């Protein structure tokens, strides 16, 4: 899932100075799971902004709504007709959702209410950790399901480096060495021979930007 965190309140408030009608739009998928941009977070931000402007004696219309996925045009069509009535939209979706919204609502001002952090997983409630760089050249079959590009602080493909110390990373002593973890996993799987393989240099062309992908069934359209 994509992990994001809400921007500081003062930064969001500063973004909407000068506007009188603002819509806050949430996304009920990834950013909802990480408690940054779902329906509850939209309601909280809307209430905070209303109270803040009321304390300043200012009239401000702040409305709110949430769609299932802001990165999908079909879901966005449910709210597009409402948005031209506003001066700006604060989106609590990830950067991809925010950019689709900007494309669909041009020239309406689209303001990001969250900072997109990484692609991650949830090891326990309220905690998220990065696990994928979307590098386009996955080697998880060779490394026991642990990504060296992401989990290793140096992104080393043939490790460990000389700085590993009792299974800890020299860059951050609180973190496990990725290649120690890979070794232990492969040992349990009976695939230690994998660690003796030398990976070729990473294929950075597989991560060209901006990336795009077309399903076989839609090629030629």
Statement to judge: residues 20 and 109 lie in one domain: yes
Statement to judge: residues 138 and 77 lie in one domain: no
Residue with tokens 């009608």: 21
Strand order in the sheet with 109-112: 61-67, 21-27, 88-91, 109-112
Provide the token pair at 13. Answer: 């408030």
Tell me, yes or no, whether 128 lies in a domain. no
Tell me, yes or no, whether 190 lies in a domain. yes
The share of the chain scoring above pLDDT 90, in percent, equals 81
**Which pLDDT value is given to residue 89?**
97
Tell me, yes or no, whether 148 lies in a domain. yes
Q: Measuring CA to CA, how many Å separate 204 from each of 58, 119, 136, 195?
A: 52, 18, 8, 22
Statement to judge: residues 139 and 109 lie in one domain: no
pLDDT surpasses 80 at 38: yes
pLDDT tens for 167-221 read 999 999 999 999 999 999 999 999 999 998 898 887 777 777 777 778 888 887 7
Range of the domain at 160: 133-207
**Region of poorest pLDDT, from 39-43, 75-79, 197-201:** 197-201
Q: Count Cβ atoms below 10 Å from residue 203 Cβ, excluding itself.
A: 10
> What is the tally of structural domains in the chain?
2
Statement to judge: residues 88 and 170 lie in one domain: no
Residue ending a domain, among 87, 118, 149, is 118
- Residue 205 has phi, psi (to 5 degrees) of -70, -20
């Amino acid at each position: 899932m994509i992990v994001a965190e809400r921007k500081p309140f003062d930064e969001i408030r500063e973004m909407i100075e000068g506007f009188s009608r603002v819509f806050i739009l949430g996304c009920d998928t990834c950013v909802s799971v990480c408690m940054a941009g779902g329906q509850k977070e939209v309601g909280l931000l809307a209430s905070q902004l209303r109270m803040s402007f009321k304390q300043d004696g200012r009239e401000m219309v702040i409305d709110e709504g949430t769609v299932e996925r802001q990165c999908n045009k079909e879901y966005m069509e449910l709210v597009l007709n409402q948005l031209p009535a506003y001066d700006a939209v604060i989106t609590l979706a990830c950067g991809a959702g925010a950019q689709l919204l900007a494309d669909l609502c041009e020239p309406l001002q689209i303001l990001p209410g969250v900072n997109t952090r990484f692609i991650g997983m949830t090891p326990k409630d309220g905690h998220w950790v990065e696990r994928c760089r979307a590098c386009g050249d996955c080697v998880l079959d060779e490394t026991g399901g642990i990504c060296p590009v992401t989990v290793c602080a140096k992104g080393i493909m043939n490790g460990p480096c000389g700085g590993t110390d009792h299974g800890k990373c020299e860059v951050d002593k609180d973190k496990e060495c990725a290649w120690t973890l890979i070794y232990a996993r492969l040992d349990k799987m009976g695939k230690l021979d994998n660690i003796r393989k030398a990976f070729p240099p990473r294929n950075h062309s597989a991560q060209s930007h901006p990336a795009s992908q077309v399903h076989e069934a839609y090629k030629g359209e």
